[in-house]
Structure 1
Amino acid sequence: MPPIVEPKLTDLDFWAQPQSDRDALFASLRTAEEPVFCPRPDGPGFYALTRYEQVTEASRHPEVFSSEPTAVSLVDPPVSISEYAGSMISLDDPRHARLRRIVSRSFTPRMIQKFADDVSALAARIVDDLVERGPCDFVTHVATPMPLQIICALMGIPESAYDDVIEATNAILAVGDPDHVSADGKTREQVLGEKFTILDNLMTDLGRLRRENPADDLVTALLHANVDGEALTEPELRRFFSLLVVAGNETTRNALSHALALFTVNPGQRSLLLADLEKRLPGAVEEVVRYATPVTWMRRTLTRDHALSGHTYRAGDRVILYYNSANRDESVFKDPHTFDITRSPNPHLGFGAPGPHFCLGAHLARREVTVLLRELFRRLPDVHATAEPIRQRASFINGVKTLPCAF
């Protein structure tokens, strides 16, 4: 049977449309009996996996649905940036398993507890500053400082580099957004290469410093990590650094921004949360992540012919796992378009689907969002957005650029 051809998913104008418009298209694609193919004018097209069962099945079989050569781009990375972009998120086992094993061992219980304490102290300072400042942009003054300062403290990044880190992560993940397009006519590849180079140089400098002066941070731990005689190579260390900085900043920042927007337009859910903050906050965080789905999709490439949902995909075919659509799948979630903090069970795919690539930082992200929302609603229970969020013009990340707030 011929596939359904859906060009909208490659059009950034579609991703700038209201949530309801995007939800309507994905709802229709989930009910389609034929596979959904998305042509691209500048290269190979891809198939869209929009159902929960499709996304989870592909995630469980990395031997068929490969993360190589990239999991995060519709196009294969050019040589100019492939040396930076080849982090473990775009690798398969055994290389992926080796890197993840080494990195996981670096997150020692003592380090985790240290940064758990840091999260609580930072949340208090952020809300202190908000109280003193008054009405402001929530993204800039509340949502951004939390993950930025935690990740930078975790890695030992100096405060003087914060602006460079945020600028780099914005440009890397929001490709196509006019606010992150070079004003001097540079190509997308040139801009990405520059931003990855900034992070690469930062890691090189930190690595040199920590070899001479070890500290209680993750860079020091990674430099000295040794699992069964294996350690990270210099390129692997730089690539993981870029992955952690980019993913750790952007996803948590956007989850926090969406949380305020959602509780503003759903006052009944806000009242429900405030009636028993400690009991309902964990469920509220999970529902924010499901509903917002900060990371919209990941790419996989077929290693061999494989049948899925009645269609045989061929070796070399590209498929996109749409987490945002899977998190709205009516066969799994009752009233999926309703924001419901009491939803249970809530097997969302906001941190990826079960499999070897499930988000390594999910625990830290949950803690950051939980602690800041607790501090925020405990001290400023009426904090709210005063206008609709201005979203990034991007498909990979469900990003929020600005969100004015008051209390």
Structure 2
Amino acid sequence: MSTGHIQILPAEKQLGDDNWGSWKEIVISLLRGKGVDGYPLGKIRRPGAPVHPTIPAEVSSDGDTTPTGTSASAEQASLSASASQIPSSISAVLPASTTTSVNSLTPSLEEWLLRDAMAGAIIYQNVKDPAVHGLSAADTSREMWVALHGKFDRKTEVVKGLRMAELRSVKLDSGRNLLKHLDDLARARARAVDAGCRVYDIEMIGIILQSLPAAEFGPSIIALQTKAYAHEVVAELRQYHDIVYGREPAPGTGNNALAVAGRPTCSNCSRFGHGREQCFARGGGREGYAPSSWRPPRGKEPRKELTQAARDERSRQVQTALVRLNAEAAALAASTPTAPTSTYEMNHGAAAARPPAAAYAAFAAPTAMYVLGSDDEADGMDIEGKVLGF
């Protein structure tokens, strides 16, 4: 197996001050892919120096190791006679020269040095600033790993708690900001994972649903609890935003997730029950025509000039309606034959004196009163004397 290539992570993935958890998982994966993860983890220890066999020199009786005279000749002949046996004797003592697999637990010293250097290079070259973290290129991979653990593991649990608290604190205020909210949740989850947290999908689904305002997403929260994966929940919420806030949904998707039919939401103020054309808030089709009891959303207060213009317009409408209705009433009275027109005249005669009439309104129409400009959201706001309801 070749171990010549060392994978260098992108700069944003290399070890910094706040991504120890995710970096550790990535580097262990790289080490395992090369078969050398046992070296920094301490599973494969450095073997001792090999012991090479040596042939002891003959020592004479006087302690001199250099034979002389007749004795030397005899010893030389003896050595020459046994010379042919020396190679076989050495072969019997030396171990067979074999190459172990890259992940062998019993490498030779030379193999251990080469593979440990490979593991150390993977660690060292994927740290943004090795010297800041106390690393040296001359360290073994185990020394590098222990140094990094000693620096980061002590604060990891605290950082993990802070990152999870940050993730759970992301809340949505209005459905109009749903897309940005989902992006914020994704970034907060990534930061938590970088710190070493394991945010599984089932937990992330709960965090997403708890971050939504119940007033707007109540039915949706119940429906989305059955999803098994976080990306499914995110896809359904994005589709909801597209449907409610005016974007075209993806072809063929339809509205198979959220019950939005029958509950129109205003694309101007994000409130339920009306559309933009009927909205009283700033930018709505009826801006300035709100009843006195209506309270605008924050930041969507109607412009004062439009409010005054709407009041003037309503006043003109009322006056016009009064003139028209009085004319219709007079025309109707003129076309009606003289006859008892009330129970009083039928009982007392047309010439009988009638009690004085109480003053009620500016006119008395014989037909039902007209209601101008009424809609489902108006609450009967009165104009100057409360003659007509709007």
Superposed pair shares fold, TM > 0.5: no
Higher strand share: 1
**TM-score, normalised via structure 2 length:** 0.18
Q: Which of 1 and 2 has higher RCO (CA within 8 Å, sep 6+)?
A: 1
Higher helix share: 1
**TM-score, normalised via structure 1 length:** 0.17
For the pair shown, which has the larger CA radius of gyration, 1 or 2? Answer: 2
